[in-house]
Homo-oligomer: A and B are copies of this chain.
Amino acid sequence: MPKIVDEQMREATRQHIIHEAAHEFARLGFDQANINLIAEKAGIGKGTIYLYFENKRELFLAMLRFIAQTQLAAIRGALAQNGDLQTRLEQLFLAFVRLAEEESDSFNVYMSALYGVNRAFRTEATKLLRDYVAVIAMVLEEAQARHEIHIDDVDTTALMVLSLTESFILSARVLGQSQQSLMAQATRTAQFILQGLGTPLQPE
């Protein structure tokens, strides 16, 4: 079965290139990142990259998709466990804190793409944003089904939740807050959201 082995090798190399590319793109941005350097760091020849990706742009997009998958998987994982809404919102918050810490490069790349000028990159980054909203909306709907809350517009509310977790965390980090101090705010933020939704505070 050399075909399958080859295919696995190829996919492994692809992933490897994407990893190095992610690092460089995060460090320097799309324009300043250097294909030669990415190849060098990946331990392959300069031309080899073009056997795996059509051009620099496609490599960047592939990397964006990879980041999106990874991040979404992490967030989904954090919300997979059962529990009441407060617990799950706390889990969501903590998951984002962890991601923002461990994958800060990815977040920078993602935000740059989301608010940058390249249309294709924005489109790709927007998909992740939509996925985040969808995942949170699902959690909210489950809570609603359990009569924990009552919401009119689930999607808008989900976006508010996302702003109070992801955006809040990113801003706080930019302002210099440590991971620890951020984690300490998980409960409080979850309470803020629940109260905001009109749900009376539940005793911890």
A residues at B contact (CB < 8 Å): 26-32, 107-108, 111-112, 114-118, 122, 126, 129-130, 133, 156, 159-160, 162-164, 167-168, 170-172, 174-175, 185, 189, 192-193, 195-198, 201
Contact = CB atoms under 8 A, between A and B. Distances in A.
The 3 closest A-B pairs by CB, nearest first: A31-B31, A167-B167, A111-B115
Report the copy number of this chain in the oligomer.
4
Contacts of A197: 192, 195
Contacts of A126: 174-175
Contacts of A27: 117
Contacts of A133: 175
Chain A residues touching B, majority SS: helix
Contact of A163 (B28, B130, B164, B196): B164
A150 B28 CA distance: 44
Nearest to A174: B126
A89 B7 CA distance: 56
Considering residues A114, A115, A129, A197, which has the most beta carbons from chain B within 10 angstroms of its beta carbon? A115
Nearest to A168: B163
Contacts of A164: 160, 163-164
